[in-house]
Structure 1
């Protein structure tokens, strides 16, 4: 739960600010580089597995997310509508975290011939896909409206 709350607080604040002050192109690049961060995060776990244990990886992540959560909540509660936005992003990230954790858990439970460090990095596949999609959208968003980008995203996801 702290992961979801921390992540949603960051997204709510940044998305609101960027949407209010910049173009859709900047918003897509913002999300693209969010993907860079999420590709790095599974490697924190891989490093923890190499140098310590999985408990340390979760502890390091929890401490970092707890700090981010605190800062973001303190800075964004004054914005009208932020509570609903936080709830929406929490729901999204709960699904994202479930997929991320399920992927690594699945491979850890079914593939005995793959080392733990490699399995930990499999979770980044989801985020790599998100990053690539946002990168592409960043380059084409100045030619398409927001509604067209959303429709293209929904159609692509349905396929």
Structure 2
């Protein structure tokens, strides 16, 4: 259990490092600031492919060795980036890192969804948020010591390496269920609830990523907040997301995941609607979005087996994580294009549409599950 908490913390560290280190990195490599956009699509595709294949790999080597190998790949990639002398090396290493991190993300989520309660899975995802927040601190800390960005990547690589060793030592203790017999009729998506669930992950993660990415632009450009106040609210967004996972997990244990998820989707819609209002109401909307979003990803992961059956859960979780990566990469980019064309005001209606789409897709996924479970057996 402790290793799982540390794993969620450690795998999030690189997420917060690249964005802060990039201005210094691109000067070393002599590339424009927009070159980051060249690297990210390759990494996203590699992560999606890796996440999608995780369910199949789990059935062959087990969760312990999957995490060991994947974390070692991620550590190696970060170490290569810390020594890179050319931009193309960073791009290649980012693809290697994406393969490792995609498998870690999907593998850990599949494992905890199978074994842990709503409280524990939300707390594990809270650790991820803490790790993502600590990544920039590592970059700023090394810079404060007069060291280059390479030391930050090296430090995170070392942490990942230690984690890989921990996974290797404990590999046999990561108990996996006995795999069910594979039926000849099984495809990638053998049940009706799979496609709506996968789509839901893309829509939801796109909403969460868009709210966090464009909140500052919206608050300063459309609602006239001072830059310092807007920056404080964005920080409060992430703090609320982490604390919401800590607080709402035990409540979900008592109420059940479905009532909590329905309340959260309602909160997402209400929070997005508040962005239409001026001043403090818009600020409250940002925080409501964070609180409502807090338990959604872990609870949707936890209830995958209810939507598609335990036999298919590991494979479908892999596809859900892949879809989440795609949504987080593409939806904020599309909204960015719209903001560039129509102005920052467009964020509020976009988030309302995404919240309603996520709610509708969740209801469709659970309705499909109900119909499938009530159908007569043959």
Question: TM-score, length-normalised on structure 1?
Answer: 0.55
Partner of residue 129 from structure 1, selected from 234, 240, 244: 240
Structure 2, unaligned runs of 5 or more: 1-42, 44-93, 166-170, 172-178, 183-187, 189-194, 217-227, 271-378
Deviation at 1:127, TM superposition (A): 3.4
The CA distance in 2 between the partners of 1:96 and 1:62, in whole Å, is 23
Structure having greater relative contact order (Cα 8 Å, sep ≥ 6): 1
Q: How many residues are matched?
A: 133
Deviation at 1:8, TM superposition (A): 3.9
The CA distance in 2 between the partners of 1:127 and 1:61, in whole Å, is 24
The alignment status of 1:30 with 2:141, answered yes or no, reads no
Q: Deviations over 1:76-115 (max 9, x none)?
A: xxx997xx98xx68x949x749956x96xxxxxxxxxx9x
Cα distance, 1:4–1:65 mapped onto 2, change above 3 Å: farther
Deviation at 1:144, TM superposition (A): 1.6
Question: TM-score, length-normalised on structure 2?
Answer: 0.27
Say whether the 8 Å CA contact 2:138–2:152 is kept in structure 1: no
52-61 or 34-43, which deviates more: 52-61
Partner of residue 17 from structure 1, selected from 103, 111, 134: 111
Q: Which residue of 1 aligns with 2:144?
A: 50
Structure 1, unaligned runs of 5 or more: 104-113
Deviation at 1:59, TM superposition (A): 3.3
Say whether the 8 Å CA contact 1:48–1:56 is kept in structure 2: no
The CA distance in 2 between the partners of 1:97 and 1:7, in whole Å, is 22
The CA distance in 2 between the partners of 1:11 and 1:38, in whole Å, is 14
Highest Rg: 1 or 2? 2
The CA distance in 2 between the partners of 1:126 and 1:147, in whole Å, is 24
The CA distance in 2 between the partners of 1:97 and 1:62, in whole Å, is 26
Cα distance, 1:135–1:5 mapped onto 2, change above 3 Å: farther
